[in-house]
Amino acid sequence: MGGCLSKKCWRGSAGAHLVPDGASAAYGPPRDGGRDEAPTGGKPLWAATDEDSLRGLAVTKDDQWLRTFVGAASGSILQYAYPTTGRSGDEWRSPQRSRAHEKAIRCLALNCSPSDAAGAGQILASASADATVKLHRLSDGDGRGGAFLSLDECRTLTGHSFAVTSLAFGGQQSEWLVSGGRDCTMRLWDVEAGRCVCTQYVPQNIVLACRTLPTAPSALSVDPLGGFCVAQCGEDLRLRLWVCSTARQSMSCVESVSVGTDQPVCCAIGTGAAANMLAVGTKGFSRGQCRLSGYDLRALGKGAVWEHADMFEHSVEDVTAAQVSPVSTNLTACIATAKDGQIVAAELASGCVLWRETCHTVPWTGCCMAGGSFVSLSQSHVWLWEWERLREAPQLVTRTPGALMM
């Protein structure tokens, strides 16, 4: 078990300098303004080669294993399993690799929430720069309930003309899939049939991210039999809301809102009392253009409810949302990872910063929350953290067996 990050560390304006144990020479000294402290125990689960940089993350957790699926530039999907039952870190094994695409993977999505168990029959979707989406059925290959699941490719979805950059499952049983790409199209797919039932083209709307809403905003009319809503970020500096009708096999853009001069590159949807809140991360050419903002989906046209405009030096690469323990607090936090190495947690409803940390030489590319465990992704490392609970002093506990070289 690694060390805890205390209230002093998390609330510091510059944050602590986190490096893997025994790797300070490789990671370099902290930049100006950072605190030259001893490592607090944050260690990557493994290190990949520079040729196989990482982007795309999907995580699921059950009572035995936390399974992490990561996309690689080689077109492979890497799978890791870490015990959640307190077993020794010595039982960690090298990650499994499955060849999936001819070009780099840009996005991964599971047709279950991160807190659900991903077992036999669940679908993992992968999107690639080769303009395809592939569906992989997860199965217990040897029937023994082992750490790793088999990825059996069951469908290849074609139709996009450029790289596919975002994926979101929807419907009552997650039987529908929305994909978006650099061809300025949003597509609705029937997962079981492997068929595109609707394509919407919007000029200049290069799709950067999309997320399924757990519930539709009250102002929107949604098909009660499996209809759902999707929030989408576009390179044309706009946020859009899409309504997908599974009965009519159609999708339509019902709201399009400008976010100013900054590109919205990632988003996350709240849960519980914050189910109508959308956290959005942006990138730009200056410090003020790299923002983390919160929007009320019931009044999207009124602009951001809150924003942090001077916190990040480089783009906010990903953001995730999770309900903070204990559940009785009814508090949902959004956690953002940025290219400048920062990890920031904020209350989604108000934007109040809960804690803030900087890993100075680690430019993050992704993150995900699963059942109290937080996974962050850089171009060459996966980091696993355990978030115990939010008290007066928020704590982040690392649980990693050390760096495993591939």
pLDDT value, residue 141 = 65
Quick check: is 337 in a domain? yes
Read off the amino acid at residue 195.
R
Quick check: is 253 in a domain? no
pLDDT value, residue 35 = 30
Burial class (CB within 10 angstroms; exposed 0-12, middle 13-18, buried 19+) of 62: middle
Quick check: is 271 in a domain? yes
- pLDDT tens digits, one per residue of 389-406: 443 333 443 333 333 222
For the entire predicted model, the pTM comes to: 0.82
Section 354-375 average pLDDT:
81
Burial class (CB within 10 angstroms; exposed 0-12, middle 13-18, buried 19+) of 162: middle
Pairwise CA distance, residues 28 & 238, whole Å: 38
- Strand 292-296: give its sheet, edge to edge: 263-269, 277-283, 292-296, 306-308
Q: 253 pLDDT exceeds 90?
A: yes
Pairwise CA distance, residues 97 & 92, whole Å: 15
Where is pLDDT greater, at 204 or 331? Answer: 204
Pairwise CA distance, residues 340 & 313, whole Å: 6
Quick check: is 184 in a domain? no
Pairwise CA distance, residues 209 & 232, whole Å: 6
Quick check: is 1 in a domain? no
Query: CB–CB of 318/365 below 8 Å?
Result: yes
Q: 24 pLDDT exceeds 50?
A: no
Residue in the structure block whose two tokens are 């996974």 = 375
Quick check: is 54 in a domain? no
Output the domain CATH number for residue 282. Answer: 2.130.10.10
pLDDT value, residue 166 = 97
Question: What's the number of domains the chain is made of?
Answer: 1
Domain that holds residue 357: 259-394
pLDDT value, residue 8 = 23
